[in-house]
């Protein structure tokens, strides 16, 4: 039986972003790691946007893990986040298991693959993380491209995995033509999620989030979000929320909703032409206020 599409209710959204007790501390909402970047796609400010999005989405601490050669370029952009330099070769992180263990020590969630170029070492890193770790993992961008070469890893993972592809990335993962993905995105995503025991967040004008048994359709966002780094911001938001929420389709759908609503607010202020991804990050607090006030 095919799962039916549904939208998040106001109560589900407000529960995800409910007010916090006065006696909480940063450990209450989790440490998370964002592991990405390469010399080819260094984007120091872009990586900093990722960590800022995670913090704005409510986790306690963000650890940004990047190749050592990029650490000096990224450091000036980081204010609240911590930096973890990974052993590298030519600006690409090595599959140094000890260094990866240190980068993941004590964290509740990992976002991985942002800013990765084509390099076989990244599949090695993914293989190690997915088979040896038990934390929730969000895989995006270059991480999805690496995974597409060995999708069967998803069937042997100890992690809770959330994939965040756009249609072309999903085409590589699934083996379906892009046209087939666009023809019925919700159902093909649900079938893939069911077969590989993961959550799929398939991005688009309408975003479909599914674990194979339920499908949330998120209809927020605008043309201004069609700009470099918007996907990274979503990954940052989702990874940040996994610091304090379970790795479910509902949590991923709430992250997509928050990113889309923040994008709409940013577009209203900056126009659909002039808007950039960091505008969405800055609009996250306003979006949370609107969710809490039921101003949707």
Q: Count how many Cα atoms sit within 13 Å of the Cα of residue 21 in the half-sphere of its side chain.
A: 5
Burial 153-167 (b: 16+ CB within 10 A, else e): bbeebebbbbbbbbb
* Cα 92 from Cα 38, distance rounded (Å): 5
| Average pLDDT for the chain | 94
What pLDDT score was predicted for residue 134? 96
* Cα 229 from Cα 46, distance rounded (Å): 7
* Cα 55 from Cα 21, distance rounded (Å): 18
Residue 42 pLDDT exceeds 70: no
Residue 45 pLDDT exceeds 70: no
**Which H, E and C letters describe the chain, residue by residue?**
CCCCEECCCHHHHHHHCCCCCCCCCHHHHCEEEEECCCCCCCCHHHHHHHHHHHHHCCCCEEEEEEEHHHHHHHHHHCCCCEEEEECEECCEECCCHHHHHHHHCCCCEEEECCCCCCCHHHHHHHHHHHHHCCCEEEECCHHHHHHCCCHHHHHHCCCEEEECCCHHHHHHHHCCCHHHHHHCHHHHHHHHHHHHCCEEEECCCCEEEECCCCEEEECCCCHHHCCCCHHHHHHHHHHHHCCCCCCCHHHHHHHHHHHHHHHHHHHHHHHHHHCCHHHHHHCHHHHHHHHHCCCC
What pLDDT score was predicted for residue 44? 65
Residue 139 pLDDT exceeds 90: yes
Residue among 24, 54, 28 nearest 140 (CA): 54
pLDDT in tens, 192-237: 999 999 999 999 999 999 999 999 999 999 999 999 889 999 999 9
Mean pLDDT, residues 168-197 taken together:
97
Residue 6 pLDDT exceeds 70: yes
pTM: 0.96
Mean pLDDT, residues 137-161 taken together:
95
Q: Count how many Cα atoms sit within 13 Å of the Cα of residue 275 in the half-sphere of its side chain.
A: 27
Mean pLDDT, residues 170-188 taken together:
97
CATH no. of 29-292 = 3.40.1190.20
- Strand duo 109-112 + 31-35: pairing: parallel
* Cα 67 from Cα 260, distance rounded (Å): 30
What pLDDT score was predicted for residue 266? 98
For the chain, percent of residues with pLDDT exceeding 70: 99
Residue partners of 294: CB distance under 8 A and separation at least 6: 10, 14
What pLDDT score was predicted for residue 122? 96
* Cα 74 from Cα 44, distance rounded (Å): 5
What pLDDT score was predicted for residue 43? 72
* Cα 61 from Cα 254, distance rounded (Å): 20
Q: What is the CA angle 45-93-158, rounded to 5?
A: 105
Residue 60 pLDDT exceeds 70: yes
What pLDDT score was predicted for residue 49? 78
Mean pLDDT, residues 7-20 taken together:
97
């Amino acid at each position: 039986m095919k799962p039916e599409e549904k939208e998040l209710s106001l109560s589900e959204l407000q529960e995800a972003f409910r007010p916090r007790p006065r006696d909480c501390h940063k450990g209450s909402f989790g440490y998370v790691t964002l592991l990405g970047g390469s010399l080819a796609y260094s984007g120091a400010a872009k990586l900093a946007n990722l960590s800022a999005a995670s913090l704005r989405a409510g986790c306690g601490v963000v650890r940004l893990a990047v190749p050592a050669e990029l650490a000096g370029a990224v450091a000036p952009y980081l204010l609240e986040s911590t930096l973890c330099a990974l052993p590298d070769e030519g600006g690409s992180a090595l599959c140094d298991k000890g260094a990866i263990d240190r980068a993941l020590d004590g964290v509740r969630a990992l976002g991985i693959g942002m800013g990765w170029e084509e390099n076989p070492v990244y599949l090695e890193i993914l293989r190690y993380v997915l088979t040896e770790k038990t934390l929730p993992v969000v895989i995006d961008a270059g991480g999805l491209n690496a995974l597409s070469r060995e999708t069967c890893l998803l069937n042997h993972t100890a992690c809770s995995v959330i994939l965040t592809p756009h249609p072309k990335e999903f085409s590589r993962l699934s083996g379906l033509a892009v046209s087939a993905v666009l023809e019925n995105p919700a159902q093909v995503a649900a079938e893939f999620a069911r077969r590989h025991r993961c959550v799929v967040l398939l991005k688009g004008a309408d975003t479909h989030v599914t674990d194979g048994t339920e499908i949330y359709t998120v209809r927020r966002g605008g043309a201004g979000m069609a700009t470099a780094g918007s996907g990274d911001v979503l990954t940052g938001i989702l990874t940040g929320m996994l610091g304090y929420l379970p790795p479910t389709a509902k949590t991923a759908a709430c992250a997509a909703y928050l990113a889309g609503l923040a994008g709409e607010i940013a577009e209203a202020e900056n126009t659909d032409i002039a808007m950039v991804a960091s505008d969405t990050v800055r609009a996250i607090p306003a979006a949370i206020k609107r969710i809490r006030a039921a101003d949707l």
